[in-house]
């Protein structure tokens, strides 16, 4: 599954971690920033929300990674960082209502 409105990092994760047989209902990617100074943002903060059905249950995975503006190499992308939390829709319905628009 490749989606044109997502970053390459998000599409790579979907291809690698979510097989075609899974029923993906909605996907949303968000870019935020952590701290600003006179040079701009200190980092990009990426969140990928995947709302899907597996074994008759609906779940939401939230993948997260931060891209720091630093000369020191760091992990980049959802797959490198492998930081994911899984929620039920009831836990997130009021926090992320855009995920549940079918």
pLDDT at 57 (0 to 100): 92
Q: Residues 55-72: what's their mean pLDDT?
A: 86
Stated pTM of the model: 0.78
Q: Give residues with Cβ within 8 angstroms of 46, minimum separation 6.
A: 7, 9, 29, 30, 31, 64, 65, 66, 67, 78
What is the C-alpha to C-alpha distance for residues 73 and 61, in angstroms, rounded to an integer? 27
Considering only CA atoms, which of 52, 54, 62 is closest in space to residue 84?
Answer: 62
| Domain ranges across the chain | 8-100
CB 16 within 8 A of CB 79: yes
Top-ranked range on mean pLDDT: pick from 39-43, 62-66, 94-98:
62-66
């Amino acid at each position: 599954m490749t989606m044109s409105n997502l970053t390459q990092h998000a599409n790579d994760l979907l291809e690698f971690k979510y097989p075609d047989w899974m029923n993906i209902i909605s996907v949303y990617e968000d870019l935020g920033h952590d701290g600003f100074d006179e040079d701009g943002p200190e980092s990009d903060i990426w969140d990928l929300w995947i709302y899907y059905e597996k074994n008759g249950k609906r779940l939401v995975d939230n993948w997260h990674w931060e891209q720091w503006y630093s000369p020191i190499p760091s992990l980049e992308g959802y797959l490198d960082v492998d930081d994911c939390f899984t929620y039920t829709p009831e836990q997130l319905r009021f926090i992320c209502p855009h995920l549940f628009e079918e």
